[in-house]
Structure 1
Amino acid sequence: MKGRIPVLLALALALCSGFTPRRDAAPAPQPEASWPDTVKEAYLYTEGLKRLLIDGDTLAARGLLRRSLAADSSYAPAWYQLAAAGMYDHPDTAVGYARRAYELDTANKWYGRLYGQMLVRGERYDQARVLYRKLLRDDPRDPDNYRILAILYQQAGMPDSAVRLLDSAELRFGKIPLLVSLKRQLLVSTGQIDRALEEAKILAEAVPYEMENRLVLGELYSMVRADSLALAEFRAAVAIDSTSVSALASLAEYYNRRHEYRAYLGVVKRLFMLDGLPLQDKVSYFRQLTSDLRFYREYFFQVDELASTLLLRYPTDKEVVKLYGEHLIASGQLDRALAHYKLHLADRPPQLDYYTMVIDIESFNKHVDSVDRYVDRAIALFPDNPELYLRRGHVLAYAGRNDEAVRSYRQSLRRADTDSLRSVVWGFIGDAYHQMDEAAAAGSREQKRYRDASYAAYDRALAYWSGNVGVLNNYAYFLSLEGRDLMRALDMAGRVVAMTDNNPTYLDTYAWVLFKLGRLAEAKKTMQQAISLDSQNSPDLQAHYGDILFALGERFMAEVYWRKALDNGFDADEIARRLEQLKATADP
């Protein structure tokens, strides 16, 4: 054939042509070799192959291949290599190169295969189907031509043609696993499940100890709802290879589909014992199982066994340690969770997450001294982490040691590296000063100092991040309690409501500011919305709603909501004062 040079011969020529390996410095320019005109295209092609296959220099290779074609545009090997070199970077151009190579030498099966691949890659399926029909006629001994053409028939909505084609392949070659699998998929997709089942039974009987055959037969039995036969096949597959991930996974999925969850979890435990199932898949299994709280509660002991199995097999893996700790916390076993995380504080390298979990659980338990101790240990290992100082500040503030909390928050502030975090920290400082304001003697100089410091901290927080919802809400509410800067408070509370999605606490703040402004009808409407969304029966919201109703003259309902607030824990003296006011204003 014109211009055909086998690749091995081309490489042999290339290696004999004085090739010089690349060095750090570019070699001095050499005069271009001379060659007879009749072999110029072959020489350039060979040089291009050397650059491509030995140097890995695609750009230089393409340049030499194009020069080869400039010398002889009918040189098919150069077109072929240009297509192969550009099939990923320049697929649209490469398909034209592949077509040209094939047109120049239609008897070359490599050219035909590459052209077909390029057509499929470019989603030119109609052209690809025509080409693969021709390739199949020219080379009926290549099973891959049957496979690809069958897939193209399926893509074109011609599954029956695809099945007939694979039947003919089976007559020629016998049962090739890849073609058998494709044919079975086509039979199922066209509703010919009975035929697929019969063929699968024949295959399983012919090779009874092939695990994959048993799994296929089990899946097909499941499709026709022959559940006992499906189960028998899945169990047979597991008996053939009890360490097979695919066999156990198929058996587990069978039980899962039938809602036989105890059996399902038993098989999943066996999967968790296998090294063949990647850890990430095991973690995904576990998280899926625990995503449904009802399921989690009903099968807690089996799920607990799975968590213990993971921890036993991967005792120091960070993802597993975290998963097991979350499992203990979700099941209310805080003491075990605390012991679990404390045990892993000795892991190397040390993990900040373990320290923060210990600190958070100790904070929840109100163990201030323990929080201090573990924060100090964590800071020694992670001295620049602002979250540690924040956590210490939180537990100090919760314990009423607000002056110490402010100092801890300021230490966090010095290590904060983003404006959003600085805003959050200043917000906590403002909250701590507000607590000190409330604890100070009414009207005292100390109270005024704390109040001014609180508002100044909130202003600093908003200067860093004007959309800090927590700060905007608290600032607006505290201003409304004073009856101070109410229009500014209304603006802040309104922004919070606009930025959030029906949060009852934020709606309460907005309604309360409206109430303080005397806009009672609006306040009532907003507070009704807050009450309807409040699933916690907040006594503060109920007391506020009672106040608004009282101001509107709705005395009976005001008393109802005040008494609800009292039942839910609102300050009894405050409710008594309101009820006295109600009594004092009663009609004579």
Structure 2
Amino acid sequence: MKIKWYCCTFLICCICIGVWVRPVAAQEHAALMPRVLNAGDSLLIKELYLQGVQQKASGQLTAAERTFDKVILLQPDNHAAYFELARIHFEKEDYASAEKSAVQATKLDPDNKWYWTVLLDVYKKTANFKKIAGVFGELIRLDPQKESNYYDKAYALYLDKQYDAALTAYDEIAGKFGKTEDLYIIRHQVYLAKGDRRSATAELEALIATKPANSKGYVLLADLYTGDDNAKKALALLDDAGKTFPDDPLILLAKSDASLAMGRQKQAYSLLQQAFSSDALDIDTKAGVLYTAASNPKRSPGAEALTGLADLLVEVYPRETKAHAVRGDIYLQMSQPEKAREAYLKALDINRYIEGIWPQLLQTELQLGRYDDVATHGKEALSLFPNNTLLLFFTGHGFLGSKRYEEARSYFETALNSADEGNVPLLTQLYSNLGDIYHALDMYAESDVAYEEAIATDSTNAYALNNYAYYLALRKENLHRAAEMSKKSNELEPDFASYEDTYAWVLFQQGNYEAALTWIKKAIGHSDTISDTLLEHYGDILSRSGDIQGAVIQWKKARDVAKALGKDIDKLTKKINERQYVE
């Protein structure tokens, strides 16, 4: 869980807008029995109602729904039947029907709190905060001494961005139940949401004046001062707070944030070290501080400090899997993959059953080009967590990196079968990878199908467009479509050397040597490290453009690079010796 840079996130809300359905006990069902209209239909209605309850209890929701519909047909003002229908619709996730039935139940019997409760469940599920506030108003009417309902109503108004109404509701709470420390903090949050920083500041200053029992008010007020470019005032406030709350780690974190705002990185690091050494700060909060700082370079003590804190974390928690995993994450974000790998391996050595660490390890090893390690660790992970799509994906890449195409194919195909259909980026990548593998296995028809699927899944995936275009160009097939796809990939990701090289090669195969020369020069200009393939293509295009001398120069450069990499240079040597392009 990521947290605010200077401290843990404080829960300003008093409820969690979630979904729950309170089970109705048997005695409550008895209380909800329908009123008897007359002696003639009383027994029938009771029997139908109980039948519906039994059907619902046994999971026969559709049958129960029909039964309660019959009850309502016979007795249109049967509020208990509407209530049961509302619960059935809710379970079937038909929230519109559930709302309609629940509303009818509350109209027929507005003093039954369970009817309002099921309506509340519907509004929570549909995030209808405006109506949630209204329902809590009714619950307050029914139980005016239940404090939580007042907080729930106020919070619903806050979520509905009715900030003035929320503040009024919190005033009502203060008047009825007394103004607690949490109320000051909640009101400060509402004022911030409203954009009224002055009033938010006033609330926290008032809280501090009451001599609060903890440091939250000081920390939040210091954050406001720091955010208003008054870090010096924030530090003064926190120094004062330190006298009342000595060694409070949240104060240390807040002081580090203010120090960073003033450009005092060494001081900030020292304060963070003190906070990280404190047992009063839990490991999750420390991890959150690290993640937040790593993701915000402008307010960070620096890479060396962050890795130092990550090291300190494992010193404090040497047998905590999470500490080593966090250390790995921080080193990876600081572009030190070897150290990250070491940390992930240590974490898994402590507990190999933490599923989320394995993909991090495999991804890091891929970054390091340790393909055999990826394959080995991937298989180990999959023995523990079979059919994990991400593990299959990375393991496949391990085999692909080692050019073990058949094994890579097996993992990618299995990953594709287990992938979430809604995960478009992953599906596109899997289809693209299979396109690469099928091409390497000379399964050209299958390769084309895989690329078509990738593009159909995401028509803006430049990787798939580029690779498909390049392989078509190599085979001299469907060059018009190859040109369209390659052009589009360059529009999607301009100035990318690999994609520019592909477009040059497609144009070359089409016989458009002038345009091909323009694009190969762009590719060379945008390439950090010029590959032998790029140089060879440059030579090929120059040769077809009539510049044999220039072509030979580029072929010789390509041969030197290829030779250094241990590649086959026979074809390049033949081009150089014969001073002409060779297919």
TM-score > 0.5, shorter chain as reference: yes
Counterpart residue number, 2:204? 200
Corresponding residue to 1:308 among 306, 311, 314: 311
Q: What residue ranges of structure 2 are gaps of 5+ in the alignment? A: 1-23, 387-391, 417-430, 452-463
- The 1:288–1:68 alpha-carbon spacing in structure 2 relative to 1, beyond 3 Å, is same
Shift of residue 186 of structure 1?
Answer: 3.6
> For 2:200 and 2:411, how far apart are their aligned partners in 1?
67
Contact 2:116 2:138 in 1 (8 A): no
Within-5 A mapping of 1:82-481: 82-83=85-86, 86-87=89-90, 89-106=93-110, 143=147, 147=151, 150=154, 159-176=163-180, 180-190=184-194, 192-222=196-226, 225-231=229-235, 236=241, 240=245, 254=258, 260-264=264-268, 270=275, 286=290, 289-290=293-294, 299-312=302-315, 313=317, 317=321, 320=324, 324=328, 327=331, 424=436, 460-466=442-448, 467=451, 473=470
In structure 2, C-alpha distance between the alignment counterparts of 1:68 and 1:176, rounded to whole Å: 49
| TM-score, structure 1 normalization | 0.57
Letter matched to residue 302 of structure 1: A
- Which one is further off, 195-204 or 78-87? 78-87
Q: Alpha carbons of 1:214 and 1:72: their partners in 2 closer, same or farther (altered >3 Å)?
A: farther
Q: Deviations over 1:241-266 (max 9, x none)?
A: 9677x766655655565565555555
Q: CA-atom RMSD, angstroms?
A: 6.4
Deviations 1:303-327 (A, max 9, x none): 2223324555365849945963983
- Per-residue deviation, 1:215: 3.6
- 3-state SS of the aligned residue for 2:443? helix
Asked if the contact 2:48/2:71 (under 8 Å) is kept, the reply is yes
Cα pair distance change 1:530/1:170, threshold 3 Å: same
Alignment CA distance shift 1:326-1:426 (3 Å): farther
Q: Distance in 1 between matches of 2:347 and 2:133?
A: 61
Single out whichever of 299-308 and 343-352 deviates more from structure 2.
Answer: 343-352
Query: Partner of 2:497 in structure 1?
Result: 504
Indicate conservation of the 8 Å contact 1:473/1:496, yes or no: no
- Relative to structure 1, the CA distance from residue 117 to residue 513 in structure 2 (aligned partners, 3 Å threshold; closer, same or farther) is closer
Aligned-residue offset at 1:347: 7.0
Give the gaps of 5 or more residues in structure 1.
1-6, 18-34, 365-370, 396-404, 429-456, 478-484, 582-588
- Shift in Å, 1:535: 3.2
Partner of 2:516: 523
Distance 1:555 1:154 in 2: 74
> Aligned partners of 1:329 and 1:143: how far apart in 2?
46
CA, structure 1 residues 316+495, in 2 after alignment: closer, same or farther (shift >3 Å)?
farther
User: Which digits, 9 at most, give the CA deviation of each residue in 1:110-166, with x for residues without a partner?
Assistant: 656666776676677777777877877887656566556656766787644543454
Distance in 2 (CA, whole Å) between partners of 1:292 and 1:129 is 37
1:251-295: CA deviations, max 9, x gaps?
Answer: 56555655655555556664597697565x766765565568899
Give the drift of 1:175. 1.1
- CA deviation map 1:69-109 (0-9, x unaligned): 56654454554555456456343333344443443444556
Query: Against the structure 1 CA distance between its residues 548 and 195, is the aligned structure 2 distance closer, same or farther, given a 3 Å change threshold?
Result: closer
Q: Are 2:321 and 2:348, in contact at CA under 8 Å, matched by a contact in 1?
A: no
Determine what percentage of the aligned residue pairs are the same residue.
18
Name the residue aligned to 2:13: none
Q: What letter corresponds to residue 465 of structure 1 in structure 2?
A: S
Q: CA 1:72/1:192 → structure 2, altered by over 3 Å: closer, same or farther? A: same
Q: How far, CA to CA, are the matches of 2:555 and 2:506 in structure 1?
A: 23
Tell me, in whole angstroms, the C-alpha distance in 1 between the residues paired with 2:509 and 2:563.
Answer: 21
In the aligned structure 2, how far is the partner of 1:195 from the partner of 1:37? Answer: 66
Contact 1:493 1:506 in 2 (8 A): no
Assess, with a 3 A threshold, how the Cα gap between structure 1 residues 559 and 40 changes in structure 2: closer, same or farther: closer
Please give the alpha-carbon distance, in whole angstroms, between the structure 1 residues aligned to 2:120 and 2:412.
58
Tell me, in whole angstroms, the C-alpha distance in 2 between the residues paired with 1:164 and 1:359.
Answer: 57
Instruction: Decide whether the 8 Å contact of 2:327 with 2:343 is kept in 1.
Output: no
- Whether the 8 Å CA contact 1:272–1:282 is kept in 2: the answer is no
SS at match of 1:535: coil
**1:465 Cα deviation from its structure 2 partner:** 0.8
Task: From the CA coordinates, give the structure whose radius of gyration is larger.
Answer: 1
TM-score by length of 2: 0.57
Q: 1:525 to 1:37 in 2, by over 3 A?
A: same
Cα distance in 2, alignment partners of residues 327 and 553 from structure 1: 52
User: Which amino acid is 2:302 matched to?
Assistant: Y
Is 1:533 aligned to residue 547 of structure 2?
Answer: no
1:462 Cα shift?
Answer: 1.8
Q: Which protein has greater RCO, CA pairs closer than 8 Å, 6+ apart?
A: 2
Inter-CA distance 82–230: structure 2 relative to 1 (3 Å threshold):
farther
Cα distance, 1:511–1:220 mapped onto 2, change above 3 Å: closer
Aligned residues: 494
